[in-house]
A and B are shown apart, each in its own frame.
Chain A
Amino acid sequence: MDMHNAGDTGATRLEDPWYDALASGWGEADDTGGEPGRSRPPAAQAVYTEVHGSAAFQEVRRRYRRFVFPATAAFLIWYLAYVVAATTAPHLMARPVVGTLNVAMVAGLAQFATTFLLTWAYARHARLHRDRVALELRWVTQEMMRGHGR
């Protein structure tokens, strides 16, 4: 178990380009983030506001939202429709399709199938359309922070 652990974390380190950022000690800057009454230095706020307004960030944000909002709406409606159909229209759900399989069974298995499918689609979308730009923005933001005398 121990060896397996070591091997796996090693692999993550190698293929996870964000990992290095942790070693920079930047995370420590936010150590007091949760403390009540403490506010961030104005310089950091200026950096975040500037990055937030940049075209690159707005593109990442747009790509993320344009995927997850419709997808969330779709699977919630599909799930609620399934639950409501199961509780209000049991006769429709009991209609046979093939052999012992009825509409209810097919719909239940379809819920599993769409969940797996959407998981795959989301992972693919994030990997192809978001990860690279987001990582660059992370570096840019942290470079700008250092530039502000941190």
Chain B
Amino acid sequence: MTGDQRNLALLLFGVFVAATLAITTWAGRRRHGSPEEFYAGGRLFSPMENGFAIAGDYMSAASFLGISGLIALFGYDGVLYCVGFFVAWLVVLLLVAELVRNCGRFTLADVLAARMRERRVRIAAGISSVTVCVLYLVAQMVGAGSLVALLLGETGGRARAWTVIGVGTLMVVFVALGGMRATTWIQIVKAVLLMGGAIALTALVLVRFRGDLDALLSTAARNSGHGVDFLAPGLKYGGGWTARLDFVSLGLALVLGTAGLPHILSRFYTVPTARAARRSVIWSIGLIGGFYLMTIVLGFGAAAVLGADAVRTSNAAGNTAVPLLALDLGGGAGSTGGTVLFAVVAAIAFATILAVVAGITLASSASVAHDLYTSLIRRAGRTARGEVVVARIAAVGIGAAAIGLGLLAEDLNVAFLVGLAFAVAASANLPVLLYSLFWRRFTARGAVWSVYGGLLPAVVLVVLSPVVSGGPDAIFSGMDFHLFPLQNPGLVSVPLGFLAGWFGTVTSPAPADVPGHAAEHAETEVRALTGAGAA
């Protein structure tokens, strides 16, 4: 990146930061400190606004840069990611969004608490939510650091460290001062920017090939160096059986994990009714589907226009494919058009990371304050306002932790961390959520076992995976304790989460012997499907 590009990118990014700070101030103006306002933004967003915000929460820089880069390097295998990330929304729409909106108030644990009032259930759900959030947060922070290093051309550790610290500080300011209202507006602005950038680049790619997709694909295949193999699966995940199983495992985690992500679940509480929650998901499915289709065009476009070798030379993981494509489409290095387009793409990527990070921080501070603090600290005179103060402090603490971990983990692969967060969400959060919404017999013991029975295997299998030890790219490359062959634990830990929930339930006393069990189930079902008594 030349000096001009860097200055322009920094200027545009500065404008975005100023705009988001203005939004935060504006949203905080009418603040009165209630949990309804801090966690749910007053529940008065429209479905369209929430749909954009959900899309903003979901479309991370990992998708914009990472997946299009994967497609540019490995062709069709990158498309498999897009499909998994997108189909997952059907689970959210059909099974989760409306029922969660009706039964819950602020967090995942609230949905379970509608049926099981035991403290241990809330603590378990709180712990797994915070774990998922922290993993996802670290992934985004690491991504932010390497993105800045790549785009600004400063490969030194200092630029990286300061970026992580800067992003962390900004997100704490957004969340602690602005709560859900500010965070939602930041997501909306970011979603509009990201969609706008993707649409502009896609249009330019299509113009370059005169709208002929056939020519785009055949040029991509020719310039990739792989020929027609580029357009079929197998380049990345085709190796031995472990690589193939690994992808099936990742695919399972992607499709089932989305519905267990705490920052996505908390978005449904920002609209007034379940019907509005459904309509927001429909909006976001439209936006996300369109976005991933454009990502595919951009990925193949990068391979066709730049050639896979140029992409790989710039960044081995392909993360710079889209910015380089923008530079070329704008007129090439040195031209005004190229400079502007490159800077715009870089600024959008920063904005994307910042917004996603703010959304996750808010969700995790809600879990800490609303689930863990209220369950663990028993004190007379605890008030709702006090809980919001705790949530604001928790946002600062989580921000600090994320900065620290982001600095420590800066060499970890971002896609791996995101895959891990999805795997934990799919193993620990989704089984308990579905059981408690749909299974009459489900008990508190089943809930607790289901959460820990998914969470522990997922974490333990990752520690024993080849990512942590036993290879040249592993975290502890000097040691070898990898007993589990796959990088992604989903294939084993998701079934274990469901199995543990089932086993915990059937070993509980029969529901007929427990007073109130049937009534609690009846209440959950009536509330979930009709919205009676919804917050």
Q: Which residues of A contact B (CB under 8 A)?
A: 1-2, 5, 8-9, 11-13, 16, 18-19, 21-22, 26-27, 29-30, 33-40, 44-46, 48-49, 51-53, 57, 60-61, 64, 68, 71-72, 75-76, 79-80, 82-84, 86-88, 90, 93-94, 99-102, 104-105, 108, 111-112, 115-116, 118-119, 122-123, 126, 131, 134-135, 137-138, 141-142, 145
Contact = CB atoms under 8 A, between A and B. Distances in A.
B95 A9 contact: no
Contact of B526 (A46, A51, A108): A51
Given A12-B276, A39-B117, A141-B532, A90 B95 contact: no
A88 B238 CA distance: 8
Given A60-B529, A75-B87, A27 B535 contact: yes
B212 to A, nearest CB: 10
A112 B289 contact: yes
Interface stretch (B77-85, B313-321, B333-341): B77-85
B233 interface: yes
Interface stretch (B107-115, B408-416, B469-477): B107-115
Interface size class of B (residues with CB under 8 A): 35 or more
Contacts of A53: 522
Interface in B22-53: 26, 43-49
Interface in B74-113: 76, 79-80, 82-84, 86-87, 89-91, 93-95, 98, 105, 109-110, 113
Interface string B66-79: 00000000001001
A30 B535 contact: yes
B262 interface: no
Given A48-B526, A90-B234, A18 B519 contact: no
Given A86-B237, A116-B289, 17 more contacts: A19-B273, A35-B117, A57-B526, A71-B90, A80-B251, A83-B84, A86-B247, A87-B245, A93-B233, A94-B229, A104-B79, A104-B231, A112-B83, A123-B282, A134-B530, A138-B532, A141-B533
Nearest to A67: B94
B29 to A, nearest CB: 12
A126 B278 contact: yes
Given A34-B109, A87-B244, A48 B522 contact: yes
Residue in A9, A12, A131 with the greatest tally of chain B CB atoms within 10 Å: A12
Contacts of A11: 46
B530 A115 contact: no
Contacts of A104: 76, 79, 231-233
Most chain A CB within a 10 A radius of its CB, from B83, B110, B119, B233:
B233
B185 interface: yes
Contact of A48 (B45, B245, B274, B519): B519
Interface stretch (B137-145, B213-221, B391-399): B213-221
B533 A12 contact: no
Contacts of A13: 272
A90 B76 CA distance: 11
A147 B255 CA distance: 45
A111 B87 CA distance: 7
A26 B243 CA distance: 54
Nearest to A53: B522
16 contacts: A1-B189, A18-B273, A34-B122, A35-B374, A36-B118, A48-B519, A51-B532, A86-B237, A87-B248, A90-B232, A93-B232, A94-B233, A100-B221, A100-B228, A123-B282, A141-B530
Given A18-B531, A45-B519, A105-B76, A116 B49 contact: no
A72 B535 contact: no
Contacts of B233: 86-87, 90, 93-94, 104
